[in-house]
Structure 1
Amino acid sequence: MIRVLVVDDNPTVRDALRAHLDASGAALVVGEAGDGRAALDAARRLRPHVTLLDYRMPVADGLSIVAELARLTAVLTLTSDDSDAVVREMLRGGARGYLVHGEFDPAELLRAVTVVASGRSWLSPAAATVAAEALRRAQETAEAAAREAERLDRARRRYGLTAREREVLDLVAEGLANVVIAERLGLTEKTVKNHLHAVFTKLGARNRTEAVLRWTGR
């Protein structure tokens, strides 16, 4: 029997969800809450397997508590809000599932509760679209970062800096003074200055700022 906590500020919605789940014979509503703070208290006390969590609520909304709640129970967001931002933030916060009112029937609600209780995810069509788009953007960002890193590496190789010169210049780029760089690398300050002189010559830079800008490709 799957123990369920229902969190929604509308008592009519809570009653309907309780009726559907209790009648299923596979789930049992062990508690209810009408706001986020009460939801956390109930989750700590009742230890439900799954919590149906609304997004818009008084005192503390779903987004403000989802991360903490997800450490206590599997969270299935159940709300009327299907905006991209809300879906993305609730899933990022730790919700395992997302259902939108009007997009499911009692049978699908039970399937979603069962799936989420098992540790898997269940997303409504709207939420699935948002999740897929987020993955696509993340992949594009990662590919763009990889291309930029490869471009910068090719650009840097043409300068012919030694490994030590690269170390010194990277620390200069962090804004460190020569004396600090010397301590960090176990060198004398004079040696650091000699390395920087060589760096400026190879990069065709007149000063630290120009060297950093050319090294970082800016």
Structure 2
Amino acid sequence: MREQPRSDTGRDPKLVTALIVHPGRAEGAALRAVLDVGEQIRVVARTEDGGTATTLTQRLRPAVILLDDRIATPDYRELVRTLARQSRVIIMTAATECTTITALLRDPVRGCLVYGQFEAADLREAVRAVAAGLGWLSPVAVAAASWQLRGRRRPVATALTGTDTIGLR
């Protein structure tokens, strides 16, 4: 029987390592439970603190970091930049406003997941895709990015009805 190829570090090259940075213990544990299903993703650590996230990233070198935008830190944007220099970052947010999401996307992130806009399978697929060098956006984040790219023009449906057809203003 042929042995499975391994990377120089002795790790399975198909295994994606992840770090969860989330201020809520229960929510962070739930994210870990979703990701630890199967053999493709392994959560190497979970923290509720930005400083600890930086230390863990330097020590563990996770392929992907899931970073909640509510994490307490003196300078959130600097935290994102620091983490992104060493790993691929997926921002997780409850925000649905175009301006908030586009501000998050200006940082060096590879993905943006909006709570309530993704299923467990989407979370796992986002982590695998981002680890492979691709990006991943929740549908509302795609809408926000296109809104920004179109020069913040409101869709015709919005101008006619006064509401945005996808729930964004």
**Identity among equivalent pairs (%):** 38
The CA distance in 2 between the partners of 1:136 and 1:49, in whole Å, is: 32
Q: Which has the higher helix share?
A: 1
| 1:4 to 1:93, Cα distance in 2 relative to 1, 3 A | same
Deviation of the 1:53 alpha carbon: 0.4
Normalized against structure 1, the TM-score is what? Answer: 0.60
- Relative contact order (C-alpha < 8 Å, sep 6+): which is higher? 2
In structure 2, the residue matched to 1:32 is 46
Aligned AA for 1:83?
E
Matches within 5 A, 1:108-187: 108-137=122-151
Q: Which has the higher strand share?
A: 2
Runs of 5+ unmatched residues, structure 1: 139-218
The CA distance in 1 between the partners of 2:73 and 2:16, in whole Å, is: 28
CA RMSD, aligned part only?
A: 1.6
Runs of 5+ unmatched residues, structure 2: 1-14, 153-169
The CA distance in 2 between the partners of 1:13 and 1:125, in whole Å, is: 22
Normalized against structure 2, the TM-score is what? Answer: 0.76
The CA distance in 2 between the partners of 1:30 and 1:62, in whole Å, is: 22
* Mapped contact 1:66–1:90 kept (Cα < 8 A): no
In structure 1, the residue matched to 2:97 is 83
* Mapped contact 2:73–2:79 kept (Cα < 8 A): no
Larger radius of gyration: 1
Q: Deviations over 1:132-190 (max 9, x none)?
A: 1222229xxxxxxxxxxxxxxxxxxxxxxxxxxxxxxxxxxxxxxxxxxxxxxxxxxxx
1:17 pairs with 10, 18, 31, which one? 31
In structure 1, the residue matched to 2:66 is 52
The CA distance in 2 between the partners of 1:29 and 1:105, in whole Å, is: 18
- How many aligned positions are there? 138
